[in-house]
Structure 1
Amino acid sequence: MASQQSLESTLPTNLPATFMKEITNDFSSDRELGRSVFGTVYKGVLDEGGTIAVKRLTENAPVPPGVTFGTEVTNIMALKHENIVELVSYCHESQKKVVQHNGRYVFVDVIESCLCYKYAPNGSLDKHIYGMQYNTSINWDTRFKIVKGICQGLLFLHKGLDGPLIHMNLVPTSIWLDDNWVPKIADFGLSRLFGQEQTRMYTVNVKGHNGYMAPEYLYKGEISTMSDIYSLGMLILEITTGEKNSSASEDKSARKFVDK
């Protein structure tokens, strides 16, 4: 049987929507691996026996699916690092669909956007670090390995490229775990690529998860590598304590969670 790596290398870069539906059993709920604000991830089973993870982008994401798709493809297609999820293929196809509008049925163009990644059998981090799962799924050595791997991946994004790549969405659902519990940073839909000498930028369009956004980003729109370091600190607290960061809208930077 061909290896998983060789199977992935035979996939064309741009896959048709019909193929996406076929390998996920029409995006069946029993193939679901996890979900985030950007989309739902499904297990895609190939005819040759291999497996890939298929993220189907959602229409009601914080940014439009087309923008999310373009950001992820352009920012991570060429990235190769042990602690960064590997994008192996994608689907971005316009389809005709009949919908009802003002009492009439009309044809509209619908874009099917999917991103295909190397499969991570242990799913996302959030499935293993809270409550009873925290006590049974991962021991201290594994938790340390996960924290160290996330740090190594973040260091690569910030220091190992021509310019820093700021992730901007470092949360438990964006950390995937392979069969050896090696963490893979995923979900690059909000990421920002800086120039070589650039250290910060500003935005008025602040988006992110409550409890993981750095105060300077949340209140001033300032983006820098420190934005990810703040989120990393929150992840480390969750991984080491098993406590869930459930910050409310009035405490978006999770001050109460840190003070507990």
Structure 2
Amino acid sequence: MTFLLGNDSLEFDLSTIKAATKNFDTTNTLGQGGFGIVYQGILPNGQEIAVKRLSKNSGQGDKEFRNEVQLVANLQHKNLVRLLGFCMREDEKLLIYEFVPNASLDRFLFDPIKRSNLNWEARYKIIAGIARGLVYLHEDSRLKIIHRDLKSSNILLDSDLCPKIADFGMARLVGMDETHLETSRIAGTYGYMAPEYVLNGQFSVKSDVYSYGVLILEIVSGQRNGSNSHQLGYSQDLLRHAWEHWAAGTPMEFVDFTVRERCSKNEALRSIHIGLSCIQDEPALRPSMASVVLTLQTDSLTLPVPSPPAFLANGMGMHTREYFQRRILSTTTASI
């Protein structure tokens, strides 16, 4: 298998990667997930790299591996992690990325100590950067790409806390005239998946918009969707909590208490408004990422007043969650 980017091959020798990571020494581990382990390494020229080593039971087979290489190799944007190459030798499937020193957003946002490094200016910069990366994927690159797995652990932060969207194993290339695609395999992370994707297997750029809305509300509140927060005194899902404050006219109480007193109120309210607009039940009611970027940049543009999220408006709550979970479990063995 050979992939080309310009005139240069992207394929690395396995021996080079083993030397760079000291034969995948555990002391070089950067992170671990269902896909496998990510290691830090140093190439002979001194360049730092991150090596994604897919486990044998990761569920990412040759098709998904090739998909990630072919898609990411053609993407160049400051808010997307840059693929340097790959290796597929001796039963190893390795993806070599630029090294991003501050790891993933979730390691900062949900850590009681590290979250103090994310002041409001940094959070708003991250919100805007993710939006620009999605605009590039959806509209500005030569390809039209749906990420399908946007979540806090797939947002990496560089030394300046500039966000970079990562992990394109589930991404899909979409024809410019296609509005949505369908799949019989529902794969992703509960809490970030759009309802039409979970219920009907339909996904589109508006599915990414939904996930982005969840991300915004997590960044603003400092809380993970789907988790309970005794600190804030509620046990409901984050999206419900955001809507209740918005409807009650107390949206600033939704803002993370560690930044609430020192944040821009206009930016915080705008962010919550965008987040709620992005998680609308009907995909057509969600804004495009291009309009989100414009709204983040100026006070003169406003989004429509959001409607209550479907789970709240229909009174389904926990029943919806249980259905989602059953649906995910029943479809994980199906193929696209």
**Would you say same fold, with TM above 0.5?**
yes
* Aligned positions, number: 228
Equivalent residue in structure 1 for 2:136, among 118, 143, 156:
156
Equivalent pair of 2:16/2:43 in contact (CA under 8 Å): no
Counterpart secondary structure, 2:112: helix
Measure, in 1, the Cα distance between the counterparts of 2:227 and 2:211: 13
Equivalent pair of 1:57/1:65 in contact (CA under 8 Å): no
Query: What one-letter code is carried by the residue in structure 1 that aligns with 2:86?
Result: Y
For the pair 1:47 / 2:28, whether they are aligned, the reply is no
Equivalent pair of 2:60/2:169 in contact (CA under 8 Å): no
1:26-81: CA deviation from partner (whole Å, max 9, x where unpaired)? 212221112333232111112332201111112222x3332221111111101110
Aligned to 1:215: 195
Question: Aligned pair in 2 of structure 1 residues 12, 133: CA closer, same or farther (>3 Å)?
Answer: farther
Structure 1 residue runs of 5 or longer lacking an equivalent are 1-10, 96-110, 249-254
Question: Aligned pair in 2 of structure 1 residues 36, 128: CA closer, same or farther (>3 Å)?
Answer: same
For the pair 1:246 / 2:243, whether they are aligned, the reply is no
Once the two structures are aligned, what percentage of the paired residues are identical?
A: 39
Measure, in 2, the Cα distance between the counterparts of 1:169 and 1:67: 17
Counterpart secondary structure, 2:130: helix
Measure, in 2, the Cα distance between the counterparts of 1:247 and 1:168: 21
Equivalent pair of 1:200/1:222 in contact (CA under 8 Å): yes
Measure, in 1, the Cα distance between the counterparts of 2:32 and 2:153: 7
Counterpart secondary structure, 1:152: helix
Map of 1:62-77 to 2, 5 A cutoff?
63-77=59-73
Measure, in 2, the Cα distance between the counterparts of 1:201 and 1:166: 10
- How far the C-alpha of 1:121 sits from its partner, in A, is 0.7
Q: Which has the higher contact order (CA 8 A, sep 6+)?
A: 1
Aligned to 2:122: 142
Structure 2 residue runs of 5 or longer lacking an equivalent are 1-7, 229-235, 242-336
Using structure 1 for the length normalisation, give the TM-score.
0.82
Aligned to 1:8: none
Equivalent pair of 1:36/1:173 in contact (CA under 8 Å): no
Runs of 4+ in 1 over 4 A off after TM superposition: none
Bigger CA radius of gyration: 2
Counterpart secondary structure, 1:73: helix
More helix by share: 2
Measure, in 2, the Cα distance between the counterparts of 1:33 and 1:70: 23
Measure, in 2, the Cα distance between the counterparts of 1:113 and 1:135: 34
1:91-111: CA deviation from partner (whole Å, max 9, x where unpaired)? 011x2xxxxxxxxxxxxxxx2
Counterpart secondary structure, 2:125: helix
Measure, in 1, the Cα distance between the counterparts of 2:101 and 2:194: 31
Equivalent pair of 2:54/2:60 in contact (CA under 8 Å): no
Aligned to 1:86: 82
Using structure 2 for the length normalisation, give the TM-score.
0.64
Backbone CA RMSD of aligned residues: 2.0
Question: Aligned pair in 2 of structure 1 residues 141, 91: CA closer, same or farther (>3 Å)?
Answer: same
Aligned to 1:206: 186
- How far the C-alpha of 1:12 sits from its partner, in A, is 5.6
1:98-128: CA deviation from partner (whole Å, max 9, x where unpaired)? xxxxxxxxxxxxx201111111111111110
Measure, in 1, the Cα distance between the counterparts of 2:37 and 2:180: 31
